[in-house]
Structure 1
Amino acid sequence: MNNQIEIINNSIPLVREIGLMNDKEGILKHPNRIMKDLNVFIYVVKGRLQINENGDIFHLEKGSYLFLRKNIHHWGDEFYQPGSEWYFIHFFTNDLPDQTTEYSTYGKTSLIHREEFNTKVTLPKIEKSEKPSLYFLAFG
């Protein structure tokens, strides 16, 4: 999948803005923009949203989430379904050094050891989860 967000294990994503939005009348589309430094997380509580990222089209319904990568053009062509409601998080991540390897949990506990801090975790681009936990809403 294109434009996935990668987080290096020696840094923490920094939240700039978080909120809950709605479109009761179905008069909004996703903004047409490039967010130079900010990644975006969207989780749909109700309704349906359509979002393009660099030509890839995503249809999000209740329980779906999507990560949009910083410095990549994204926009909406379709109006949101009336009654739609969604959470958004705008957040900063550090750039990764070239050739950063993916962290693997194979044969390990959930603890990240010091020697593994220079590995990365690649977040899923789009998924569906009907009952998110608080942790999930803070970054999948």
Structure 2
Amino acid sequence: MPAQTFTISQLAKEFDLTTRAIRFYEDMGLLAPERAGLQRIYSTRDRARLTLTLRAKRLGLSLTEAKDILDMYDSPRDTVAQLEKFLGVLGTHRAQLEAQLAELQANLAEVKEHEKKGRATLAKAQKAGKAPRPAEAKA
């Protein structure tokens, strides 16, 4: 039974990508299709690597990080070293996401505080029967 192959158009349609994006991943070394003249022939290995590349992007990893991780599994090196590298990359990325989350939470708390002050100013103004002055509304 011959191995299943895919055209660039088939992969683009399946993964909802442009053919340009797939060629970019090829240029980055993430995919290595065979050539039949000018046509690219993608293997099931290329399809799997594309799946993993898109998953890595969703996790927020760079394409370089994704390539490093994918390339580890193509080499005959020790599985322990591969997993340690993978966990290191994920740990670094997790720390970055946690820092971003802490910053977002601080920003959200500040916005909520400004909202609270704004509502209090508005309530006072409505109770007094007047609209707030611009300086009060911005407080």
Indicate whether the TM-score tops 0.5.
no
Q: Please state which band the TM-score falls in when normalised by the shorter chain.
A: under 0.3
TM-score (norm 2): 0.21
Q: Which has the higher contact order (CA 8 A, sep 6+)?
A: 1
TM-score (norm 1): 0.20
